[in-house]
């Protein structure tokens, strides 16, 4: 363990702007290492995207049953590999969390081999946690879409009845306000649900807990994180889209000079090489921005523990006191980070009366 905490890390509650700013500064400092960490799962997703693109374009043009079966199989393989790549991304993000949190706390070097060593040590647990996260994201998305649909239905009916007597400008204003309110509420509901399982990988790798214990622990930590999680997600989505445009525009100009209409609604007329090149640009832009998400989630995890558990005091005690022995003890001075990813350190007993919830 390093003797001192990272000099520029001040363990204080962070707002959304501070969170994004620190994530970007850390990203800039460890750019190439973080890209190496994020690249393998993104390449897997890109391969799935290429298989899907080729199969989708050829399945409607084939003339024989054997070719149809081959391209249908390619479609299925592309979807499987694409989903597997995103699942692999969640696993790698979980493995990176331990290395990144240790860097934040103890100035440990950020290394790709350290991240993938953590992935190997908890691979099956991370896989199970990633599947739970993906299922939860699907449920959260479904709930948000249903809420948006119901609000949209109310707005449409209200605008329809208002149009019978109200002036057009008032109807238009009510429609815009209702639409914005519906989108805002749906986003808030989505991030409220997603935030509950946002810290599962960090809890598993940093605190050494099992999968379902980590889910429960993440639920207990996620209080009041909706705005910060939403701000960070929207910022990363905007940055990813901007990076995608930087890659798409040169490809579009090259295609235009070669007689290709680069408009998305003309995708059915694109040649295969152009469609394949276009399909891999989104994964390539993800290589650049996925590390920001990893850093942001680790900072948010540390911030939640500072806000709710006095993690700054815990870290101060960990710096001043000798290292705890690697035994199964119950103590208010339990390590600030588990000695090994598989080690499980229980918290203080219920009768201890700890107001910090130190672990």
* Structural domain contains residue 65: yes
* Structural domain contains residue 345: no
Q: If pLDDT is split at 50, 70 and 90, which confidence band does 144 have?
A: very high
Structure confidence at residue 257 (pLDDT): 84
* Structural domain contains residue 210: yes
* Structural domain contains residue 280: yes
Structure confidence at residue 284 (pLDDT): 78
Instruction: Provide the mean pLDDT of the chain.
Output: 78
**Span 119-135, mean pLDDT?**
89
* Structural domain contains residue 66: yes
* Domain residue limits at 263: 16-309
332, 318 Cβ separation under 8 angstroms? no
Q: Say which residue, 312 or 168, is predicted with more confidence.
A: 168
* Structural domain contains residue 336: no
Handedness of CA 222, 228, 234, 235 (dihedral sign): negative
Q: If pLDDT is split at 50, 70 and 90, which confidence band does 86 have?
A: confident
* Structural domain contains residue 168: yes
- How much is the pTM? 0.74
Residue-wise pLDDT tens digits, 226-283: 888 888 888 888 887 887 888 888 888 888 888 888 877 777 778 878 888 888 887 7
- How many domains is the chain partitioned into structurally? 1
Lowest-pLDDT range, 8-12, 51-55, 133-137, 241-245?
Answer: 8-12
Residue-wise pLDDT tens digits, 304-329: 887 777 666 666 665 565 555 554 44
* Structural domain contains residue 127: yes
Reading the block at residue 296, the tokens are 């942001």
For residue 286, count CB atoms less than 10 angstroms from its CB and return exposed for 0-12, middle for 13-18, buried for 19 or more: buried
Structure confidence at residue 345 (pLDDT): 35
Structure confidence at residue 190 (pLDDT): 92
Residues 6+ apart with CB under 8 A from 217: 199, 203, 207, 209
Rounded to an integer, what distance in angstroms lies between the CA atom of residue 332 and that of residue 225? 26
Residues 6+ apart with CB under 8 A from 328: 344, 345, 346
């Amino acid at each position: 363990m390093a003797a001192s905490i990272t000099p520029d890390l001040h363990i204080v509650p962070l707002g959304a702007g501070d969170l994004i700013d620190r994530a970007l500064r850390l990203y800039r400092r460890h750019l190439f290492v973080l890209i190496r960490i994020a690249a393998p799962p993104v390449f897997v997703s890109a391969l799935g995207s290429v298989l899907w693109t080729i199969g989708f374009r050829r399945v409607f043009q084939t003339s024989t049953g054997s070719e149809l079966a081959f391209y249908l199989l390619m479609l299925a393989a592309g979807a499987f590999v694409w989903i597997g790549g995103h699942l692999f991304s969640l696993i790698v993000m979980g493995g990176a969390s331990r290395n990144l949190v240790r860097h934040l706390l103890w100035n440990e070097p950020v290394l790709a081999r350290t991240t993938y060593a953590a992935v190997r040590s908890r691979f099956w647990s991370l896989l199970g946690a990633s599947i739970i996260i993906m299922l939860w994201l699907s449920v959260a998305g479904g709930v948000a879409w249903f809420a948006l649909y119901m609000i949209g239905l109310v707005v449409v009916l209200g605008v329809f009845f208002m149009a019978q007597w109200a002036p057009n400008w008032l109807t238009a204003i009510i429609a815009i306000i209702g639409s914005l309110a519906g989108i805002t509420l749906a986003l808030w509901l989505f991030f409220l649900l997603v935030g509950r399982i946002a810290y599962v990988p960090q809890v598993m790798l940093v605190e050494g807990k099992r999968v379902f214990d980590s889910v429960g622990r993440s639920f207990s930590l996620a209080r009041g994180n909706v705005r910060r999680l939403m701000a960070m997600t929207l910022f990363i989505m905007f940055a990813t889209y901007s990076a995608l445009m930087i890659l798409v525009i040169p490809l579009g100009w090259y295609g235009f000079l070669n007689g290709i209409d680069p408009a998305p609604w003309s995708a059915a007329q694109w040649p295969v090489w152009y469609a394949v090149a276009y399909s891999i640009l989104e994964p390539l832009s993800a290589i650049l921005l996925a590390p920001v998400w990893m850093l942001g989630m680790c900072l948010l995890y540390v911030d939640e523990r500072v806000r709710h558990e006095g993690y700054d005091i815990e870290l101060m005690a960990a710096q001043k006191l000798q290292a705890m022995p690697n035994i199964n003890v119950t103590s208010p001075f339990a390590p600030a980070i588990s000695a090994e990813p598989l080690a499980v350190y229980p918290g203080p007993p219920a009768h201890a009366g700890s107001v910090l919830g130190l672990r």
